[in-house]
A and B are shown apart, each in its own frame.
Chain A
């Protein structure tokens, strides 16, 4: 078996993968749309205000059945605040994912 194995013809030791220099890919990091993110945060705050408005302003009596206006305010405010917060967290998650993959 040993006769079939070719002899070492070169004394040079090839470098391993760990010895090679790390390759850094140029990644132009774009600027974050701060104004748009601030606007989305404001929309979330307005949604929260819409939920609290009937109770803060005293239009909804405590313990009484909710009026149509109160139900509309609370439902629409919750939907708007939820969508805005989801959008903000989605933006954050997507940005962090991109940075973890390409940002160095």
Chain B
């Protein structure tokens, strides 16, 4: 319910809709050129499944706790000095259920937190979709130097200020993720805009040619 709403309004769905709406007037090479940038956009992590498991585990642990209390709360011993076998079975099973359910809850919580953690490996998905050796990477870097060096994202920061803000790594990772996404968006939109401009130019040229042809026909007639 909540997850459905969250997933339906996810950025991926919006990007897919936008891509569909933008892709129609473009040619195929332009669309394929925009694909690497789109590949960097990731789907939301599946958090509903471990959340359901966590809730079920906690409820089972509560049931096990009730089993531990039941022989005393319901007075199953009835004043006997020795614990009856029924109560012993309840206590042992309750202890086992509580322990196993608590362990499951801990593992489900760990899985949930790991999936909720923000993923900052957008640049790796964007630039290196396949695993390469160091030598191949060095060859690629030597063969294809970056034609457009990225401008410094923080030109106003002084070196001292950078050294002071070194321990704060979270804002830097957030900023890096934001710059990566904006770069991906720019890479996606640049060929589209170029193709649109070329298309407009060719249409204007064709219109001029047709007008000249019409004028010639009129002059000839």
Contacts and interface: CB of A to CB of B under 8 A. Distances in A.
Interface of A: 7, 9-10, 12, 14-17, 19-21, 23-28, 30, 33, 35-37, 39-40, 42-43, 46-47, 49-50, 53-54, 57, 59, 67-70, 72-73, 76, 79-80, 83-84, 86-88, 90-92, 94-95, 97-98, 101-102
Contact of A43 (B44, B60, B85): B60
Contacts of A37: 53, 104
Nearest to B35: A23
B178 interface: no
A28 B119 contact: yes
Interface string B123-149: 001000100000000000000000000
A50 B67 contact: yes
B194 interface: no
A25 B41 CA distance: 6
B192 interface: no
Contacts of A25: 12, 15-16, 38-39, 41-43
B82 to A, nearest CB: 15
B46 A98 contact: yes
Do most interface residues of chain B lie in helix, strand or loop, or is the interface mixed?
Answer: helix
B23 A20 contact: yes
Given A54-B86, A76-B63, A39 B25 contact: no
A78 to B, nearest CB: 10
User: Which residue, of B38, B59, B60, has the highest number of chain A Cβ atoms within 10 A?
Assistant: B60
Contacts of B84: 69
A40 B56 contact: yes
A84 B103 CA distance: 14
B215 interface: no
Contacts of A19: 28
B203 A39 contact: no
Contacts of A17: 20, 23-24
A17 B57 CA distance: 47
A57 B24 CA distance: 72
Given A15-B28, A102-B43, A23 B60 contact: no
B53 A36 contact: yes
B28 A21 contact: yes
A26 B86 contact: no
B19 A83 contact: no
B19 A23 contact: yes
A29 B23 CA distance: 27
B114 interface: yes
Given A59-B85, A72-B70, 8 more contacts: A7-B210, A10-B202, A28-B125, A36-B53, A36-B107, A43-B100, A69-B74, A86-B56
B193 interface: no
